[in-house]
Amino acid sequence: TQLLEQSPQFLSIQEGENLTVYCNSSSVFSSLQWYRQEPGEGPVLLVTVVTGGEVKKLKRLTFQFGDARKDSSLHITAAQPGDTGLYLCAGDRNTDKLIFGTGTRLQVFP
């Protein structure tokens, strides 16, 4: 059973387009994190959201944590080829580990 479902699984867009990636669960999380993984490297933390309804912005990236703390979204404005990578959400349920989603693979073409 996958506690964190990400959609879409794959996304291929042109430079300049906007996109949204979703991370959904039927369980409540105390916090959610988003990572980006580039080919040949490990995931790198982008942001942590901890409060229901919280919105955080990181340049062209906007992260939102759902009011009920069961879901999150990542919106990218005017995507660039440098945004290409695997985007992973990870949730904390006050256990000894983070639970990772299956990921969304984004390809941005020039």
Partner 1 sequence: EAQVTQNPRYLITVTGKKLTVTCSQNMNHEYMSWYRQDPGLGLRQIYYSMNVEVTDKGDVPEGYKVSRKEKRNFPLILESPSPNQTSLYFCASSPSIRQQLLYGYTFGSGTRLTVV
Interface residue list for partner 1 (CB under 8 A): 2, 30-31, 33, 35, 40-45, 48, 50, 88, 90, 92, 96-98, 100-103
Closer residue to partner 1 in complex, CB, 30/77 = 30
Query: Of the two residues 66 and 103, which places its CB atom closer to partner 1 in the complex?
Result: 103
C-beta of 27: minimal distance to partner 1 in Å?
15
For residue 100, the minimal CB distance to partner 1 (Å) is 4
In the block, tokens 């990542």 appear at 74
The residue among 25 and 33 lying less far from partner 1, judged by its C-beta, is 33
Euclidean distance between CA atoms 39 and 67, whole angstroms: 33
The token pair at 41 is 């490297």
Closest CA to 84 of 33, 26, 7, 10: 10
Residue 18 CB, shortest distance to partner 1, in Å, is: 25
d(CA 18, CA 25): 24
35/63 with CB nearer partner 1: 35
Q: What's the half-sphere exposure (Cβ side, CA atoms, 13 Å) at 91?
A: 25
We find the least distance from the C-beta atom of residue 59 to partner 1, in angstroms, to be 18
d(CA 15, CA 34): 22
